[in-house]
Structure 1
Amino acid sequence: MDTSDSVRGDTPPSATAEHVVHALHGPSGVGVVDKAAAILDALEGGPTSLAQLVSSTGIARPTLHRLASALVHHRLVGRDLQGKYILGSRLTELASAAGEDRLTSAAGPVLARLRDTTGESSQLFRRQADSRVCVASAERPVGLRDTIPVGTRLSMKAGSAAQVLLAWEDNERLVEGLTGAVFTPTVLAVVRRRGWAQSLGEREPGVASVSAPVRGPSGRVVAAVSISGPIERLTRQPGRVHAETVSRAAHQLTELIRSAP
């Protein structure tokens, strides 16, 4: 079986995907993978049109369009508002997962301080596919509390952490994420403007929460720091009371993972 996924005579003589990949990494010997890698390497420089990808990779236009569409399907490649190709959000998720140990180890002390300062349970959430997962937590030791054990998988359709993890996504994924969501595009616009989110009974009746984004070295949102507890304690304006403290904790985590070797 031919693994090159090429059409005889359809590659410009000036460049080939194999030449591009060889220059950067050396060819793998599996043509389809080498071509996909060449596309991803070309997108590292920023939004790129189909014609520009053809020129930079040397892959024939029909083949490149087919491969790019497959990469978009798997979210390894995305499209911006102008329709240009960009690196996909799945790459960010995978990179975040690779750095999860560093993030979660740094989160422990930060979440403990956040819990002690606010008196509420604190959590760190990361997005995984269509869910958000609690990867670290510090629970309120006594009294009525919102218990979310590490490993708990929650919906991306409700809650302040879901708002934060979705608010800065590209347009295509933003539209997809809003389908069936409790919150609205207006709510996410407010989250982007003020830099934090709050929810009242979205995920569970009687529970309020406040969340803020943790950003990776590239500036993309990689996690959300949250506190949660009964509305009676957090009040119906929990952000007014706790947003500054939660945002400070998120900023501390951002600085810690950015400065890590």
Structure 2
Amino acid sequence: MTTVISEQTLSGVGVLDKASLLLGVLEKGPASLSRLVSDTGLKRPTVHRLVLALERLRLLARDAQGRFILGPRLGVMAVQACQDRLVTVAEPVLSELRDRTGANARLYRRHGNVRVCVAEAQAFGNPVGHDRAAVGAAFPMSAGPASQVLLAWERPDELNAGLRGAQFTAAVLSGVRRQGWAQSIGGREHPGAAVAAPVRDPGGRVVAAVSISGPTTRLTTAPGRRYGGAVVDAAIRIAGGFVQ
């Protein structure tokens, strides 16, 4: 069956439109060269030339049967596009979480040995004045419930490396995996409390952490028990919007 490309999807650049036809066929699954020719209606030499070029660019690859499939570079691009969407989806959810808990609500991503705040909803009149983590602020992965969440589900070698110099232990991370959230009460940074939960991609990989923080007078000395469910729910909602 020949794939039809609508006027709205035409770029006006012939080679790009032809490449788009090929990618459209491969979105449905692996395809041989013959099938790409029949499904697109393009001439065989044209298809052959394009798939080889796209393969060199890692936009296409081949499976064990030699059929063409979407390449690894497209996967990387998709992750980056979804990450941008993740922040957009997170912002209203963080605002609702802030209003529900009266705490600062933030979204963190891991970048090597630091976690970076990529979205936030600041609580109004929060008395812990130095509990600030503006978008773009980076913090070490060695402390805090958001760091625990971002590390707890890593591969064993990555997890063990992350524990070196950390202010939490393997037993703590085991508890995080069991309960689905992490918490902290007090500490050197501020006399407050915090709770965090993981945001997962469609494959189940932890890609971000949702966190709330504020004074213990507001979050109590058992913040996880009181607000863990709300933070987990926010993380699930963000993940749901992330994959749509």
| Both structures adopt the same fold (TM-score exceeding 0.5) | yes
1:132 corresponding residue in structure 2: 115
What is the identity, as a one-letter code, of the residue corresponding to 2:163? Answer: L
Are 2:184 and 1:189 equivalent residues in the alignment? no
- Moved >3 Å (runs of 4+): 22-25, 92-98
Aligned counterparts of 1:117 and 1:27: Cα–Cα separation in 2: 51
Aligned counterparts of 1:237 and 1:256: Cα–Cα separation in 2: 29
The Cα offsets for residues 190-248 of structure 1, whole Å up to 9 and x where unpaired, read as 00011111012356131210001100111100000010012232222110110011111
What is the identity, as a one-letter code, of the residue corresponding to 1:130? Answer: N
Aligned counterparts of 2:179 and 2:76: Cα–Cα separation in 1: 24
2:56 corresponding residue in structure 1: 27
2:32 corresponding residue in structure 1: none
Aligned counterparts of 2:171 and 2:76: Cα–Cα separation in 1: 25
Are 2:116 and 1:116 equivalent residues in the alignment? no
Aligned counterparts of 2:184 and 2:124: Cα–Cα separation in 1: 23
CA contact (8 A) 2:126 2:214 kept: no
What is the identity, as a one-letter code, of the residue corresponding to 1:179? Answer: R
CA contact (8 A) 1:93 1:128 kept: no
Aligned counterparts of 1:243 and 1:224: Cα–Cα separation in 2: 13
3-state SS of paired residue (2:56):
coil
2:221 corresponding residue in structure 1: 236
> How far did residue 143 of structure 1 move?
3.5
2:240 corresponding residue in structure 1: 255
Aligned counterparts of 2:125 and 2:187: Cα–Cα separation in 1: 24
> How far did residue 98 of structure 1 move?
4.1
| Aligned pairs (5 A) from 1:1-261 | 25-27=54-56, 96-145=79-128, 146-202=131-187, 204-258=189-243, 260=244
1:82 corresponding residue in structure 2: none
**Which stretches in structure 1 are left out of the alignment for 5+ residues?**
1-21, 29-33, 46-55, 57-86
Going from structure 1 to structure 2, the CA distance change for 1:99 and 1:181 (only over 3 Å counts) comes to same
Aligned counterparts of 1:169 and 1:209: Cα–Cα separation in 2: 21
CA contact (8 A) 1:158 1:202 kept: no
What is the identity, as a one-letter code, of the residue corresponding to 1:198? Answer: Q
Aligned counterparts of 1:150 and 1:99: Cα–Cα separation in 2: 18
The Cα offsets for residues 7-63 of structure 1, whole Å up to 9 and x where unpaired, read as xxxxxxxxxxxxxxx8895336xxxxx8xx98xx88xx9xxxxxxxxxx9xxxxxxx
TM-score with structure 2 length normalisation? Answer: 0.67
> How far did residue 127 of structure 1 move?
0.5
Going from structure 1 to structure 2, the CA distance change for 1:167 and 1:23 (only over 3 Å counts) comes to farther
1:50 corresponding residue in structure 2: none
3-state SS of paired residue (1:26):
helix
Q: Taking every aligned residue pair, what percent have the same amino acid on both sides?
A: 47
What is the identity, as a one-letter code, of the residue corresponding to 2:183? Answer: Q
CA contact (8 A) 1:159 1:202 kept: no
Aligned pairs, number:
183
3-state SS of paired residue (1:123):
strand
Aligned counterparts of 1:199 and 1:95: Cα–Cα separation in 2: 34
Going from structure 1 to structure 2, the CA distance change for 1:189 and 1:198 (only over 3 Å counts) comes to same
Aligned counterparts of 2:141 and 2:209: Cα–Cα separation in 1: 12
Aligned counterparts of 1:120 and 1:205: Cα–Cα separation in 2: 14
